[in-house]
Amino acid sequence: MGKAAFVTVLCVLLAVPATAAAAADVVDLAALRDARRLTAGAATDGVIPLPLPGDSKARASTAAPGELTAIARRAGPVRVLVGASSHADVPGIAAALRRLGAHPQVFAEAGVVAATVPSGAALARLLGADPRVAYIERDRALRISVDPYDSVDATPGGSGIKYTWGYDEVRAAGAILAAGGGSKHRIAVVDTGADVTSPELAGRIAGRYDIRSKRGNVGDRVGHGTFVSGLISAIDGNGIGGKGAAGNTKLEEIRASLDGSFTVSDLVAGIEAAVRRHVAVINLSLAGQGFSISQLRALRLAFYNDVLPVAASGNNGDTGNPLEFPAAALGGTRGQRGIGLSVTATRPGGAAASFSTHNDYVSLAAPGAGATGCDLGVFSILPTAAGTEWDDPLSCSRLFTAAGGRFAYGEGTSFATPFASSIAALVWQVQPRLASEQVADVLIRSARQTVGRGWNQLTGAGVVDGTAATALAKVYDVSPPPSRGRARRRGRSSVGVHIGRAHDRTLRGHELAGHLRYGLLVSRDGGKTFNSLIRLRRPVNRVVQLKGSALNVLVASVCDANGNCGLKRLGRYRRF
């Protein structure tokens, strides 16, 4: 995929393989995000809406032809996601769906409308060629990335492995100490809910939200969300059981499923809710096969709002090893930067868990599997009431009860992901000036490789190392280079632009990222969306043609290798 502006990238993504989502140049996207923030009134209630293609020529009939064809063949009901070409098109699309007899669910910031329509064929006839519609796709299924019938065990036996070996393996204690006990940067757990009455989570729940009722009831019938939450924030030192790898970091519990089954629309709703709550990290311990443009939009919405998504790579490494999302849309290619983190699971000592889905988009690994089979996975809390999947007689779990709490072992990339989310929040506490993708970069660069040397598909850059990550965060270059430039009109329809040479800078005692890249960003719609017009390793002298009837906004950028971008608005011009 080309390394152009995100709005251009998204148009291209309508017709490219799913893996292209992970290949975008994140430094370029960071510059576009920062340029967007220069625009007055870009954010509503503190949330920056996702820039949409707007004038894209890619429509539903050409953007995802296989999806539209499959939908058109359905004479009966079908659950769909409709992507708008612009935010202004969303109300009209929702109204059209109501005329079909549907009850649309609108995700305003992502520009997506979900609905169950009575007839797929009727939907295709009505909206298949509508210029307001960028794409139409089926609402695909996802699941929590764990199988308790083959992944939970009860006793450590004579192995000598501590209950909290995972906490030790990611060196969480050193990270918590460096962060002063925890992080002020909250983590959203988009999952099956949580038992907020658990003594292990007392005082650790900052907010609760159920995507269906839009209320605060997040009771967990499955146990998965509670288990994940315990791995992040279970209270240490209370004499009960486990301890969370993020210390006293607060959680936003977002229930997006009642039974462990999700759809893409559930994921979009959960991510949008997390962004609106201004969290720093979103833990996504779920996965599913098949690329979805709507899912990508939600993930990019998080990126544009400086929120870090962390996702489980999936548990199908032994059964075909298919690409699974959202993780494959987050991790950069072969250890390069992405807009989030894809996490695989390791066993005690750092050996790769064979069940972990592995591919070129794996970022790193974390503890998530027992030494053998379902023996001694990672240890965490369960809801106090019975009835979870761990309580099923066919499960290989034996449960622990202590001081009013319940505990068990679990295995899966679902339970590796919270360790990465935890350390990410602590890293952000140590260096609050980091951007979301820089937090991910810190974790990747500081990971401890346990399988061979360098990056690999099984463990990515290595196992998360909290002590090393927080140490790197303290010296990570977060200073943007200065941007020097000017622009001068040349006639009725062009502007001459000069972007001068810059020298990188950093704070005393910090690393210097260097490797400057000069760019020119242009908006043809008054600053609502930006495109990357030029990207060079040297200063820029260029004549830019003005286009369209709206204001053309020109912004000079100079970015270093860490993605710190110095921006300067060069002017607003209209074509005469």
Q: Residue 273: is it exposed, middle or buried by C-beta count within 10 angstroms (0-12/13-18/19+)?
A: buried
pLDDT in the model for residue 147: 45
Instruction: Please report, in angstroms and rounded to a whole number, the separation of the first and last CA atoms in the chain.
Output: 34
Q: Tell me which residue has tokens 């894209």.
A: 56
Confidence of residue 454 (pLDDT cuts 50, 70, 90): very high
Q: Tell me which residue has tokens 């999806």.
A: 67
Beta 187-191 vs 281-284: how paired, if at all? parallel
pLDDT at 190 over 80: yes
Rg over alpha carbons for the chain, rounded to the nearest Å, is 24
Highest mean pLDDT among 45-54, 102-111, 231-240, 375-384: 102-111
Range in 387-401, 416-430, 456-470 the model is least confident about = 387-401
- The secondary structure of residue 101, as a DSSP letter, is T
Cα–Cα distance between 15 and 1 in angstroms, integer? 11
List, as one string, the DSSP characters of 217-281.
----SSSHHHHHHHHHHPPSSSSSS---TTTT--EEEEE--SSSEEEHHHHHHHHHHHHHTT-SE
pLDDT at 60 over 70: no
Confidence of residue 302 (pLDDT cuts 50, 70, 90): very high
Can you give 113-165 as a three-state secondary structure string?
EEEEECCHHHHHHHHCCCCCEEEEEECCEEEECCCCCCCCCCCCCCCCCCCCH
Which residue, 326, 236, 233, is CA-closest to 285?
Answer: 326
Sheet holding 141-144, edge to edge: 261-263, 141-144, 286-289, 324-325
Average pLDDT over residues 186-201: 96
Beta 405-410 vs 378-382: how paired, if at all? antiparallel
pLDDT at 15 over 80: no
Beta 78-84 vs 133-138: how paired, if at all? antiparallel
Confidence of residue 372 (pLDDT cuts 50, 70, 90): confident
pTM above the 0.85 mark?
yes
Can you give 41-91 as a three-state secondary structure string?
CCCECCECCCCCCCCCCCCHHHHCHHHHHHHHCCCCCEEEEEEECCHHHHH
pLDDT tens digits along 343-366: 999 999 999 999 999 999 999 999
pLDDT in the model for residue 386: 86
Contacts of 210 (CB under 8 A, 6+ apart): 193, 216, 217, 218, 254, 255
Cα–Cα distance between 462 and 446 in angstroms, integer? 9
Range in 143-152, 471-480, 513-522 the model is least confident about = 143-152
Report how far apart, in Å, the C-alpha atoms of 486 and of each of 71, 557, 571 are.
Answer: 51, 12, 8
CB of 436 within 8 A of CB of 478?
A: no
- b/e per residue 426-458 (b: at least 16 CB within 10 A): bbbbbbeebbbbbbbbbbbebbbbbbeeebbbb
Cα–Cα distance between 441 and 444 in angstroms, integer? 5
Range in 85-99, 291-305, 362-376, 433-447 the model is least confident about = 362-376
Confidence of residue 252 (pLDDT cuts 50, 70, 90): very high
Percent of the chain with pLDDT over 90: 75
Beta 251-255 vs 341-346: how paired, if at all? unpaired
CB of 7 within 8 A of CB of 54?
A: yes
pLDDT in the model for residue 154: 33
pLDDT in the model for residue 3: 25
pLDDT in the model for residue 299: 97
Contacts of 88 (CB under 8 A, 6+ apart): none
Average pLDDT over residues 106-127: 96
Cα–Cα distance between 389 and 192 in angstroms, integer? 12
pLDDT in the model for residue 36: 84
Mean pLDDT of the chain: 89
pLDDT tens digits along 455-486: 999 999 999 999 999 999 999 999 999 999 99
